[in-house]
Amino acid sequence: MHKLIFFLIVIVFFSCSNHSDNYDNTKNLTSDTVSTSVKYAKGFSITYHNNFRILKVFNPWQGACNVQYQYVLADNPKKVLKKYSKIQIIKTPVKKVVCLSTTHIAFIDFIDETNSIIGVSNIKFINNKNVNKLYQKNKIVEVGYDQNLNYELIISLKPDLIITYGVDNKSVSYINKLKEFGIPVIINAEYLEHEPLAKAEWVKFIAAFYNKSDLANKKFDIVVNEYNKLKHITDTITQKPSVITGLPWKDTWYVPGGKSFAAQFLYDAGANYLFSDDASRESLALDIETVFAKAQKADYWINIGTANKIDDIINVDIRLKNFYALSNKNVYNNNAVFNKYGGNDYWESGIVNPQIILKDLIHIFHPDIFSDYNLYYYKKIY
Amino acid sequence: MLTKKNKSKHITFFTILILLLIVLFFLDLVLGSVKIPVNEILNILTKSESSRQEWITIVIDFRLPKAITAIIAGAALSVSGLQMQTIFRNPLAGPYVLGISSGASLGVAILVLGFSSFFTANQLNFMGNWAVVVSACIGSGLILFLILALSFRIKDIMTILILGILFGSAATAVVSILQYFSNESMLKAFIVWTMGSLGSVSRSQLNILLPSVILGLVISLASTKILNAMLLGESYAKSMGVNIKLSRILVFISTSILAGTITAFCGPIGFIGIAVPHLTRIIFKTTNHNFLIPGSILIGSIIMLLSDIISRMPGYNTTLPINSVTALLGIPIVIFIIVRKHKLSSLM
């Protein structure tokens, strides 16, 4: 049995107010290293050394403070400098991968490597055609989720890599357990990013494990160009319609914070988000009354869970029929693309297609800009 | 026997409580996350006019049903708690000792967690309240049926109390299993239900809630004589010509209607049912149910309105779960009861 030294969590002793913002991605660089351009994402960094690369992930779950994971990626683990040998070493390129989130599948698809996937969390949530095909052929299995992971199955799969995500401190326990079994496990934390392009940029993180950074960089630049081009179109727009998102749950209505990822899409699409003066990046739990007072007259209502028709919304709470957007039929939901179980592709491939989501939104809020465009992720609700 | 002095004292108490209820009811309509001037609220209530359209909706569709639900829930839980304390002659009994809330939780858990592979938390939201209400009713009804069936056979009231607790624990154990195997979003949906909510009762649901609670209260008021006789012990009651088994069942039915419907519509709301009857006894200094029942109705409604106002955290944009507020208000009262138990026992 070969012995591997798996992990090192470096705890840096300075206070951090917000996720990863205090990390300086360029420090610790020595003469033999080159840092790649990670432009938007704040949660990871890549540094190139002669025979290996070091990936760092910063504060990979909500509320994490000064938590850092490091991974050494090397085609030949023996060539890793001794001073880094205490860090978890992952042999690249990886060939057999288990991914525990649908977004990971989108990243892997982005670099055309879905054939490497051998295990997923829940096939019902997955839209990717190739992954579904491989599942039909029994080449992909379901391995469970979070605390309910099927460890024995995972061990028997002998994966080169497990891509997981952190929810909170408790995630560490199952991550450590997997490491105990000698399975390389990494945390992908794209969901904590606050900008659409930053989320998409995590494709560079995944690509590094496949030695496909060049392809990822090239394709990502295309996405960035397209996104920014669309964003500039709305720069000059002065008529910005007001927008409300989501649905209430009992007395509470969770809305995206004014500096959140979802809000950023709305700003970039030339909309007036009703909670834009709020400074938080996470969602806000507001009293239903507050949202009602502010949003009853909103022009548009979008992202309404799994609603397919207006009646679905009224069933939640009959009082919602008083919203102007509802009577003006300006209700759009992001669930146009889904699989037979209802798994929504917006949360899967949408992660690497922020330019399509943005175009959808611009078309919803400013229908005269692209006259013959058909919505992709979004659909109008009647 | 009531002296004249006592009688006038009680009338004063009732007048004060009714005035307090009216004031708090109005305050409940005025205070909230959204600031609406008092004169606007008066306009909305009297003429349904307001300078801003959304204020009408907020007052009429949000705050009014919520305030009415608070009054109904407070009254129902307090009276059912009072009945249970009298029947079981136990100062710590409450509306849920028969296992009603555990039964309701089981019903909801089976719906929310047991079938979670068939739909998502979101779809559950779309089913609206009715699915939850119906499953809570089925769950508590099942427990009630078991208790009633046993009440025909078992003489000793303490045995029934223990059985109620056992049934409740069994239901809770099944709920734990369901929780263990369910996913995060469904778990959250269920936990939020257990925290209670007054605001999700719609006006059409009030049409069912209100008559059921009134029915329960009428049965309760009709059984004051039985309850008063029970205070002196079952053998004494029997000697007074009270049919023990039948009366027990009558009281159980009214308790189940009261606590069961509230739990179904608002979730299990704790502490009101235990604390309010004691508060009523302390205020009225009597054990006569002719006063305790109307007193509990008033004090229960007042405390529930107060809890609702606090839970809405006027001035802030968020709400607290109603259960946390009733617990924080109720716990000091329960502690007070335990510390001074000897005195209260003499009242029971």
Contacts of B33 in chain A (CB under 8 A): 286-287, 289-290, 293
Contacts of A317 in chain B (CB under 8 A): 128, 200, 202
Average per-residue pLDDT for chain A: 85
Q: Any CB–CB contact under 8 A between A145 and chain B?
A: yes
C-beta of residue B74 within 8 angstroms of C-beta of residue B68:
no
Given a cut of 80, is residue A16 above it in pLDDT?
Answer: no
Q: Where are the beta strands (DSSP E) in A4-86?
A: 9-11, 34-35, 44-48, 52-58, 67-74
A336-381 pLDDT tens trace: 998 888 788 999 999 999 999 999 999 999 998 988 899 999 999 9
Contact call for A296 and B57, based on CB within 8 A:
yes
Q: How far is A208 from chain B (nearest CA, A)?
A: 31
A141-153 pLDDT tens trace: 998 876 678 888 8
Q: How far is B162 from chain A (nearest CA, A)?
A: 34
Contact call for A293 and B54, based on CB within 8 A:
yes
CATH of A234-380, one of 3.40.50.2030, 3.40.50.1980, 1.10.1740.10, 3.40.50.300: 3.40.50.1980
Tokens 């979101």, residue? B122
What top-level class would CATH report for the domain A2-226?
alpha beta
Who has greater pLDDT, B33 or A303?
A303
Alpha carbons A92 and A161: distance in angstroms, whole number: 10
Contact call for B312 and A297, based on CB within 8 A:
no
Q: Looking at chain A, which residues constitute the CATH 3.40.50.1980 domain(s)?
A: 2-226, 234-380
Q: Any CB–CB contact under 8 A between A286 and chain B?
A: yes
Alpha carbons B299 and B296: distance in angstroms, whole number: 5
Q: Which of A252, A285, A312 sits opposite B126 (nearest CB)?
A: A312
Contact call for A315 and B126, based on CB within 8 A:
yes
Q: Which of B62, B126, B192 sits opposite A289 (nearest CB)?
A: B62
Given a cut of 60, is residue A7 above it in pLDDT?
Answer: no
A124-138 pLDDT tens trace: 889 999 999 999 999
C-beta of residue A87 within 8 angstroms of C-beta of residue A44:
no
Overall average pLDDT of the A194-218 stretch: 94
How many CA atoms does the CB half-sphere of B268 hold within 13 Å?
23
Overall average pLDDT of the B298-313 stretch: 91
Given a cut of 70, is residue A22 above it in pLDDT?
Answer: no
Q: How far is B304 from chain A (nearest CA, A)?
A: 16
DSSP code per residue over A69-118: EEEEEESSGGGS-GGGTTSEEEESS--SEEESSHHHHHHHHHTT-GGGEE
Given a cut of 50, is residue A25 above it in pLDDT?
Answer: no
Given a cut of 90, is residue B98 above it in pLDDT?
Answer: no
Residue A152 is which amino acid?
A: E
pLDDT at residue A40 in the model: 92
Given a cut of 80, is residue A158 above it in pLDDT?
Answer: yes
Buried b (16+ CB within 10 A) or exposed e, A354-376: bbbbbbbbbbbbbeeeeeeeebb
Q: How far is A31 from chain B (nearest CA, A)?
A: 47
pLDDT > 90 fraction of chain B, expressed in percent and rounded: 20
Count of Cβ atoms closer than 10 Å to residue B342 Cβ = 7
Across B10-24, B91-105, B254-268, least confident range = B91-105
Search chain A and give the residue with CA nearest B58.
Answer: A289
Contacts of A296 in chain B (CB under 8 A): 53-54, 57
Contact call for B200 and A296, based on CB within 8 A:
no
Q: What phi and psi, each to the nearest 5 degrees, are found at residue B205?
A: -75, -30
Q: How far is A100 from chain B (nearest CA, A)?
A: 14
Alpha carbons B268 and B65: distance in angstroms, whole number: 19
Tell me the pLDDT band of A20, cut-offs 50, 70 and 90.
very low
Across A107-121, A237-251, A347-361, least confident range = A237-251
B172-183 pLDDT tens trace: 898 888 888 777
Contacts of B122 in chain A (CB under 8 A): 247, 305-306
Tell me the pLDDT band of A252, cut-offs 50, 70 and 90.
confident
pLDDT at residue A130 in the model: 94
pLDDT at residue A21 in the model: 41
Contact call for A289 and B58, based on CB within 8 A:
yes
Contact call for A319 and B33, based on CB within 8 A:
no
Q: How far is A301 from chain B (nearest CA, A)?
A: 17
Among positive and negative, which fits the CA dihedral B307, B311, B312, B313? positive
Q: Any CB–CB contact under 8 A between A151 and chain B?
A: no
Residue A291 CB contacts under 8 Å (≥ 6 apart), including other chains: A244, A248, A253, A255
Helix locations, B267-321, DSSP H:
272-284, 289-311
The number of angstroms, rounded, from the C-alpha of A101 to the middle of its chain's C-alpha atoms is 9
Q: What is the predicted ipTM?
A: 0.70
A297-325 pLDDT tens trace: 899 999 988 788 888 888 888 888 889 99
